[in-house]
Structure 1
Amino acid sequence: MRLRLRRTVAAGSMLALLGAVAPAAAAYAQDDPRSCRDLLTADAPAYVQCHWLATPDEALGVALFWGANDNANLKEATPYPGQFIDCSAPGSSCPTPPDGGAEGDENSPLPEDAEDGGAPECETGGDRCAVDGHDQGGDGTDNGSETGTGARTTVAAQTTAARSGTARPATAEEVAAAAQTPAGRAVTTAKGTGLRVWLDTELADDWKAGEEAFAAAVKRIGALAARPEVAGIRFSTQLGYDTTFTTHEEITAFVAAASAALRQAAPGKQLGVHTVVPEFACGAVEECKTEMARRYPLLAPERIESYLSTGAVDQLTLDGGLLRGGYTAWRIDAGTAQRNQSIQLRARAWDVLAQIAAEETGLVGEVAAEEVAERVAAPLRDGGAQQVNLWTRLQDAQGGVKHLTAWDALKKLSPLQRRMAAVYDPAAPGTDAAADLKRIAEVFGQVYLTVA
């Protein structure tokens, strides 16, 4: 219920996305001197782009440079200087491995006496040891001096609890029991239609409620996700956008704790979060970036990237709600906002750190077929996302409900089917869950099942 209410409020506060027009993309390709799209077949989709790393003329120049004068330049070339130390050279100082250095995994960040991911025992006499990257005193207390000590203490306690047994893989009996719940039956039905299944839940409120509530929620989701039918778990939506958290340290602690606990409770499953990065759509407009940083301090790009760079999440979903109308004060229309965001995502190479998905809430109700196609294709064509999630039902802040109606238009996008995911709440079906999921499978390749 908390998750559904949160999404109702979020949908009421966010605007729907309007993408860039396809002819414009083609025009840009024609004007780009590095475009090689003319080499593609005539039936190549508009979102498929081609760019020369070196144009044919440039490649010829490179070959002529190295081959001139009997390869004189190539013969004179020397290796690029690297940052290497010759440990055998006089005066060099290189670390030596401890005795028995062949034992253990050299890539493991944990000391050798940390068994099964647990914390090593600190020696007596005031010596310090490390737990999860934090210096600990002999009594196990965190001696860090950074701000947000309370948040770090929380995540240390939650993570330690997860590793010590509070979070653990579900037993066969627990998995079987979870399969008989309404959510479990929805997973079975979705898998039977051929859909790739994600669980869509919210753990932030449970985490803030304390260790007992958090452990119970993780156990419930873990038992449901342990089944092979489930590919992943999205454990938070509107992360940093709503009022659940007030500091970056608190969000960081939650993400780390939820990730650690879920990886224990449901090993091998992908983990994801949903949020928005308002500054991305500003492009080069400094006034816009300054204002968005002021309005949304918890959604700064470097802060969102911190969740990706630590490996806490495998998928990041960015909401498109602000792109339409959210930037009119700076004369940035929806199409330009979408392209600006895609450019930022490509430049930062976030797709190397995690899978990037776009989420679209604005296709419920009556929408023109061409608008449907463009909103789905724009993030994929621009290279800003690898998949697009569409809501099948939307309840606004006044209680009004709209359903996805553009089924015929979506069926025409069959080449994109695997990249399209439906966000569906089996507790609020259009007709019944079995019929709804069968219809979803005709259009989408994946489904995010809302689990309270």
Structure 2
Amino acid sequence: MRPTLRRALAVGAALALVGVMTPSAAYSQDDPRDCSDLLGADAPAFMVCTWLAKPEEALGVALFWGSDDAAHLKEATPSDGKFIDCSASGSFCPAPGEDSVEGDENSPLPGGEDGGTPECEAGGQCSVDGHGEGGDGTDNGSENTGATTPVGTPTPTPSAAPASAFAQDPAAATAAAQSPAGQAITAAKDVRLRVWIDTELADDWKAGTAAFTAAVKRIGALAARPEVAGIRFTSQLGYNTTFGTEADVTAFVTAASDALRQVAPGKRLGVHTVVPELACGANDACKAEMRKRHPLLAPEKVESHLIAGRVDQLSLDSGLLYGGYATWKIDADQAHRNQWIQVRARSWDVLAQVAAEETGLVGQVSDAQIATRLGTPVKDGGAQQVNVWTRVKNAEGVVNRLTAWEQLKKLTPIQRRLAAVYNPAAPEKDVAADLKRLSEIVGQVYLTTT
């Protein structure tokens, strides 16, 4: 069969199926063009199926156009179409700027239907780590105690800085490149590690506009590097005592998201938190208690940031899962599985990239624990990535380090889905050597910076 005939057959078959889901006013059970048998038994009553060209007719169309070495196709000419001669007497064509609009009919107009200046341009901005010691060896100031988040006095919201306040200068870029984090970005590139900047902007935001603007510019200078994929701009969001109300949390995330998208366009934005209720599964008493203990971490409140598009990545911590649910006879493995089944059920992976923040692989762990901790989030839940902590300090101040290096080296098929948190200002050996070792087990690294 010649290529032209194959193409003709394909076109004919497509034409035959165009009417499969097309309603027809003349539909009846005796209609010879009825193709309702192609619909499932659970199809709604309003859905009907009518052939525009039945299969045998479609074959005839294809044979007609493909016969004689596609002679009919070769003889066919484009339609003359219907055009208006604007110079002809009696013809009317709107002048540019009257009724015509440049661009596609589906193109959005800035600032509303009149295409005028968006209101946000008149002033202001336009809005279109874990528990214990971090994987980098620095104490992030939280303990895995399951303490209740206090509800305090609302934090005064800093005034929005104009977009011009985040403009970068060459000196800032040079300083960023020479900083420990900047040098670590270069070292990570050398060992082919994908880089995220891991920072905390919440305290800067609470300190006022000047401190927040300076911090955003500093992070933006680092993130401008092409090797940087994204910025995680806060940890333990809503879990620690930084914010006391939902309004504070929303105001901070919105301000940080808007500012970072200005200073680092194209970079993905992420946050880290924990949603205690998810690990309860179907236990209503557990869920009610977790909402009482952690009022800012209800699933719908965390989800609101994803729906609004404020963040592109959500890292969910596993720190509370180890013994935090014994009251309801939910062990760590059950809590872990419950959490990720709930994430999948809520389809959060559709709204943003979901990452599992795994702190439980330090110290002596079995192969089964490794498989569960790394496999369950991806297999049972909607996680596309697992952030493995290589060093964690417990409540007594004892530092536990990752010991399962050899086991993790064997996980080559999922290496790109694994990431590590690393502080270049506090290396184990030296930055280059540390990152080279990390590159043997993970494909990404979160570089902690202030």
TM-score, with structure 1 as normaliser = 0.69
Answer yes or no: is the 8 Å Cα contact 1:373–1:413 preserved in 2: no
Pick closer, same or farther for the CA change 1:398–1:187 going to 2, 3 Å: same
* 1:244 equivalent in alignment to 2:242: yes
Q: How does 1:368-379 map to 2 (within 5 A)?
A: 368-379=366-377
Q: Shift of the alpha carbon at 1:99?
A: 7.4
The amino acid of 2:36's aligned partner reads L
The amino acid of 2:209's aligned partner reads E
Which residue pairs with 1:287 in the alignment? 285
Answer yes or no: is the 8 Å Cα contact 1:319–1:358 preserved in 2: yes
Which residue pairs with 2:72 in the alignment? none
Q: Shift of the alpha carbon at 1:419?
A: 0.3
> 1:187-212 deviations in whole A, cap 9, x for unaligned?
11011110000010000000000000
SS at match of 1:364: coil
Cα distance in 2, alignment partners of residues 181 and 256 from structure 1: 28
Which residue pairs with 2:230 in the alignment? 232
* 1:74 equivalent in alignment to 2:36: yes
Q: Shift of the alpha carbon at 1:70?
A: 8.0
Pick closer, same or farther for the CA change 1:74–1:275 going to 2, 3 Å: same
Q: Shift of the alpha carbon at 1:336?
A: 1.9
SS at match of 1:312: coil
Q: Shift of the alpha carbon at 1:396?
A: 3.2
Greater relative contact order (CA < 8 Å, ≥ 6 in sequence):
1
Cα distance in 2, alignment partners of residues 322 and 150 from structure 1: 26
Cα distance in 2, alignment partners of residues 421 and 285 from structure 1: 32
Which residue pairs with 2:220 in the alignment? 222
Which residue pairs with 2:165 in the alignment? 166
The amino acid of 1:376's aligned partner reads L
Pick closer, same or farther for the CA change 1:149–1:266 going to 2, 3 Å: farther
Answer yes or no: is the 8 Å Cα contact 1:341–1:384 preserved in 2: no
Aligned pair count reads 342
Which residue pairs with 2:117 in the alignment? 114
Which residue pairs with 1:345 in the alignment? 343
> 1:313-348 deviations in whole A, cap 9, x for unaligned?
000000011122111111112222222222221121
Q: Shift of the alpha carbon at 1:361?
A: 1.1
Which residue pairs with 2:136 in the alignment? none
Answer yes or no: is the 8 Å Cα contact 1:274–1:319 preserved in 2: yes
TM-score, with structure 2 as normaliser = 0.69
SS at match of 2:157: helix
- Any stretches of 5+ residues in structure 2 without a counterpart? 1-28, 48-96, 129-151
The amino acid of 1:114's aligned partner reads T
* 1:212 equivalent in alignment to 2:215: no
The amino acid of 1:165's aligned partner reads S
Q: Shift of the alpha carbon at 1:366?
A: 2.4
Cα distance in 2, alignment partners of residues 176 and 310 from structure 1: 35
Pick closer, same or farther for the CA change 1:131–1:445 going to 2, 3 Å: closer
SS at match of 1:346: helix
Instruction: Decide which structure has the larger Cα Rg and report it.
Output: 2
Answer yes or no: is the 8 Å Cα contact 1:113–1:120 preserved in 2: no
Answer yes or no: is the 8 Å Cα contact 2:415–2:442 preserved in 1: yes
Which residue pairs with 1:429 in the alignment? 427
Which residue pairs with 2:83 in the alignment? none
Pick closer, same or farther for the CA change 1:331–1:109 going to 2, 3 Å: farther
Cα distance in 2, alignment partners of residues 294 and 206 from structure 1: 28
Q: Shift of the alpha carbon at 1:100?
A: 5.6
Pick closer, same or farther for the CA change 1:73–1:194 going to 2, 3 Å: closer
Q: How does 1:320-335 map to 2 (within 5 A)?
A: 320-335=318-333
